[in-house]
Structure 1
Amino acid sequence: MLEFRTQGFNGYSVKYSPFFDSRIAVAASANFGLRNGMRSSQTTSPRLHPINLFFRFDTQDSLYDLAWSEAHESQVLCASGDGSIKLFDLSLSDFPIASWQEHAREVFSVHWNLLTKTTFLSSSWDGTIKIWDPSSSSSLTTLPTHSCTYSASFSPHNPSVLSAVSSDSHLRVFDLRTPASASNHLTLSIPIHTPPKPRMGVPAPVGIPPAEALTHDWNKYRDSVLAVGGVDRAIRTFDLRSPGAGPVAVLPGHEYAVRRLAWSPHLSDVLLSASYDMTCRVWTDGSAVGVKGGGEEVADPMAFGGGREMGRMGRHTEFVTGVDWCLFGAEGWCASCGWDERVLVWDVRAVMGG
């Protein structure tokens, strides 16, 4: 395991470069996100070298998320607490090369379109999602959610489809190809805490009161499957082909809120989570083995769909707020960051059970 300290800054998000397996970007904030932010980029090889600081940008406000450009290997987007979005270039200067300011409150997530590579999105506590072209000074589209939107992302399978989760405990899916009309491109709105329907003799977990959804991610291999996590500590997976059926899998286990989710880019049934309980955990959603994991009954009676925890990493000493997979090399390398001012690079396979 490799470690880098973001001295004086508490991590909020960590992302591997889509171009280099040795570059990691971190969004962090002073005073636990109350003011002042920084964005640093580290270089590392999980196999050979320690982590070294490659570049650092200081900002006037907290940074809550970031996204590497899919079109330029040296550019990184940052989501700021002052409602702005900033684009930095590691090869040019200490200042952002572009900045956008339309959100009325904190920007909490940014995501680059993985397919067209010419647009990105942002979501904010002001209850909106905005679509942007980096060459334009104003947003292309505004999508209202009417609630604090913690996480939004483009589908990795369709450049016109995007999703978001919000404080009202709903998963929303938008399709930009549909007429805007009164729905503002909204095609699905799924209540996250709807109890799943029992199937194949497995009783469904009892429904629980709605709680804020903080994070979600698209499955990289199954184009209709997403995972959602939040304040109620459980991870749920949904299949958009059956939006009224409730979650396909329910994965309990975290002791505090789930702050970040990331499906594996290598295996269709594996995902990582980061939590305020100071752990990162690796899960299978059960899709690879059916309702019974490994031929045995699922141990947790609250679990549903055959998923289970496969291991955990507990080296952080404060809230873990970011986790991401390395796209290159041997499957399993990932990075995590947290409020303990540490970025850790580790091998998921080392913490997995048999």
Structure 2
Amino acid sequence: MEFRTAGYNGYAVKYSPYFDSRLAVVASANFGLVGNGRVYILGLDANGIHAERVYDTPDSVYDLAWAERNETQVIVGGGDGSIKLFDTKSPDNFPVQEWKEHNREVYSVNYNLVTKDSFVSSSWDGTVKVWDPVRPNSLLTLPTHSCTYSTAFAPRSPSIISAVSSDSHLRIFDLRTNPSSANHLVHLIPIHGYPPMPGSTYGPPRQTYAPSECLTHDWNKYRDTVIATAGVDQLIRTFDIRNPKAGPVAILRGHDYAVRKLSWSPHLSDVLLSGSYDMTARVWSDGSNANAPSRPANLGPEAWGDELGRMNVHTEFVTGVDWCLFGAEGWVATTAWDERVCVWDVRSVMNPANASRFN
């Protein structure tokens, strides 16, 4: 199934957490470099994908999140530093609420999945902000001091926030801590670091990675201490924040250009989806499944994990990926700079042995 965002290049796509037949997409004119943006609320039925509502914005839009307490509301992060709230029940094509505290592009927005009464945003201005959608001002500002491309609440904690930035670090904030010392920062994890080998004190001295911008990350839905990160160096890494000094648990190699978006499966604990500037969306296992063969003791983490399949119908950068929470396992949506939104089944790009893991 496919929908055209004609004249607008896709940036993010999200399935509704309430309905398996509804998507939200943000896209921007001129690849998001200059010009206006557009928000699409899409419906899926037996005849394909159709637009239920379309909202124009005066500046580019880069990310969105469905409200966790209201099935008709979606928040959108914009290139002018604003965050807009749209309600599909409103008869007008204007946001019902707007916030503007960020000084640069808002590149990520994410809802609190536990209390469902707050959301978080990150910006190129080097800050992460926490918001209550019924208040006119932010509740809290967390400095990162570098361009922050992605932020999220932990899926099982209302107080833990993660963020990845251009300085090649994963930050973990715990809002329960005393803010006076480090603005709630509890972990600063170098993404480019390499884990120690078994029996080694300092890790492999010959294997190093240069710092590079990290563009995306996501929390595992089942193992709530595991986070996947990816970015400009084309590698997907997983970390366990219970042992932040250990470095990556797994490193998944295969993309040919920067990885723009990651999303862990809501159905299988070891499976994740990625979208890349190499114009592909790929499905991976991080190797943690109990049925996977044991890792040889003399191999590093790059021997851990496999590419299960790839979708290569997009003809431009793949910038947004998301899993459907409902129905048969494996349905996903992708969007790209080729002005297309695609809905497809990951099982169609896997070999039968891998596809059989999905119901």
Normalising by the residue count of structure 1, what TM-score does the alignment of the two structures yield? 0.94
SS of corresponding position for 1:254: coil
> How many Å apart are 1:175 and its aligned residue?
0.5
CA contact (8 A) 1:248 1:305 kept: no
Which residue of structure 2 lines up, in the alignment, with residue 234 of structure 1? 235
Q: Which 4+ residue blocks in structure 1 deviate beyond 6 angstroms?
A: none
5+ long unaligned stretches in structure 2: 354-359
Which residue of structure 1 lines up, in the alignment, with residue 357 of structure 2? none
Matches of 1:200 and 1:32 in 2, distance apart? 48
Matches of 1:262 and 1:97 in 2, distance apart? 29
CA contact (8 A) 1:248 1:304 kept: no
Matches of 1:307 and 1:289 in 2, distance apart? 12
> How many Å apart are 1:273 and its aligned residue?
0.2
> How many Å apart are 1:304 and its aligned residue?
2.1
Change (3 A) 1:96 1:271: same
> How many Å apart are 1:21 and its aligned residue?
0.4
Q: Could you tell me which amino acid in structure 2 is paired with residue 171 of structure 1? A: L
Matches of 1:302 and 1:27 in 2, distance apart? 39
SS of corresponding position for 2:347: helix
> How many Å apart are 1:306 and its aligned residue?
1.8
Summarize the alignment of residues 91-130 of structure 1 with structure 2, pairs less than 5 Å apart: 91-92=89-90, 93-130=92-129
Which residue of structure 2 lines up, in the alignment, with residue 344 of structure 1? 342
Q: Could you tell me which amino acid in structure 1 is paired with residue 284 of structure 2? A: W
Q: How much identity, in percent, do the aligned residues show?
A: 61
Correspondence 1:72 to 2:70 = yes
User: Which of residues 43, 61, 64 in structure 2 aligns to 1:63?
Assistant: 61
> How many Å apart are 1:49 and its aligned residue?
3.3
CA contact (8 A) 1:160 1:175 kept: yes
Which residue of structure 1 lines up, in the alignment, with residue 37 of structure 2? 37
5+ long unaligned stretches in structure 1: none
Matches of 2:79 and 2:334 in 1, distance apart? 21
Matches of 1:302 and 1:350 in 2, distance apart? 31
Matches of 2:290 and 2:5 in 1, distance apart? 40
Matches of 1:213 and 1:332 in 2, distance apart? 26
Q: Could you tell me which amino acid in structure 2 is paired with residue 245 of structure 1? A: A
SS of corresponding position for 1:14: strand
CA contact (8 A) 2:295 2:303 kept: no
Change (3 A) 1:155 1:305: farther
Matches of 1:277 and 1:324 in 2, distance apart? 18
Q: Deviations over 1:264-322 (max 9, x none)?
A: 000000000000000000000000147xx55798xxx9862521111000000000000
Matches of 2:238 and 2:47 in 1, distance apart? 37
Q: Could you tell me which amino acid in structure 2 is paired with residue 163 of structure 1? A: S
> How many Å apart are 1:199 and its aligned residue?
3.2
Total equivalences in the alignment: 345
Which residue of structure 2 lines up, in the alignment, with residue 274 of structure 1? 275
Correspondence 1:155 to 2:154 = yes
Matches of 2:27 and 2:300 in 1, distance apart? 35
> How many Å apart are 1:182 and its aligned residue?
2.4
> How many Å apart are 1:207 and its aligned residue?
1.7
Normalising by the residue count of structure 2, what TM-score does the alignment of the two structures yield? 0.93
Which residue of structure 1 lines up, in the alignment, with residue 187 of structure 2? 188
Matches of 1:168 and 1:111 in 2, distance apart? 21
Which residue of structure 2 lines up, in the alignment, with residue 179 of structure 1? 178
Correspondence 1:167 to 2:166 = yes
Correspondence 1:52 to 2:50 = yes
RMSD: 1.7
Matches of 1:49 and 1:303 in 2, distance apart? 45
Which residue of structure 1 lines up, in the alignment, with residue 85 of structure 2? 87
Change (3 A) 1:319 1:308: same
Q: Could you tell me which amino acid in structure 2 is paired with residue 234 of structure 1? A: L
Matches of 1:94 and 1:328 in 2, distance apart? 29
SS of corresponding position for 1:44: strand
CA contact (8 A) 1:216 1:261 kept: yes
Q: Deviations over 1:36-91 (max 9, x none)?
A: 1000011114xx33011111000000000000000000000000000000000011
Matches of 1:200 and 1:152 in 2, distance apart? 35
User: Which of residues 318, 321, 326 in structure 1 aligns to 2:319?
Assistant: 321
SS of corresponding position for 1:304: helix
Matches of 1:328 and 1:20 in 2, distance apart? 8
CA contact (8 A) 1:252 1:303 kept: no
SS of corresponding position for 2:334: strand
Matches of 2:230 and 2:282 in 1, distance apart? 13
